Amino acid sequence: MTLAFNFIGIATNDLGASLSFYRQLGLDIPTGLDDAPHVEVALGGGVTLAWDPVSTIQGFKPGFELPRGEGRIGFAVEAESPAEVDRTYAAIVAKNPQAAHTAPWDAPWGQRYSTVLDPDGNSIDVYAALPAAAEAAAAN
């Protein structure tokens, strides 16, 4: 048997808020889907990201409740530059103040790094190589 890891699903309390949030991270999600029972978007490389409102999940798993707290699942997006990390974090937090988690900082592993939380509390790291780290990688 051969399996291919190609699908990531997000359960959400507020589909519209979640889709809007992920659009801010650059995902090309069509509009007009805020009341859909299921939404999918291709990420490339054969991977699909999908959202299901809690009501959809309750249709086949009665009594389902969305887990609370951090660490349930985490995502990361790579920005073009350290300045883009700062701009992205600021734009997301300006529109969604509750998304603020870890303001941009220079990580010891050579990246500008920040973390925002989606409307359901899932963490999304936004990062970019710092100039010295990018130059070292290019030299190797």
According to DSSP, residue 101 is labeled E
pLDDT of residue 2: 74
Task: Place 136 in a pLDDT band, splitting at 50, 70 and 90.
Answer: low
- pLDDT tens-digit profile of 23-81? 999 999 999 999 999 999 999 898 999 999 999 999 989 999 988 877 678 888 999 99
Contact 26/43 with Cβ under 8 angstroms?
A: no
- CA neighbours within 13 Å on the CB side: how many for 57? 17
Q: Which two tokens stand for residue 129?
A: 């190589």
Q: Give the strand order in the sheet containing 39-44.
A: 7-12, 47-53, 39-44
Number of H-type helices and E-type strands within the chain? 4, 7
pLDDT of residue 135: 64
Does the predicted model carry a pTM greater than 0.75?
Answer: yes
Whole-angstrom Cα Rg for the chain: 17
Sort residue 112 into left (φ over 0), alpha (ψ -120 to 50) or beta.
beta
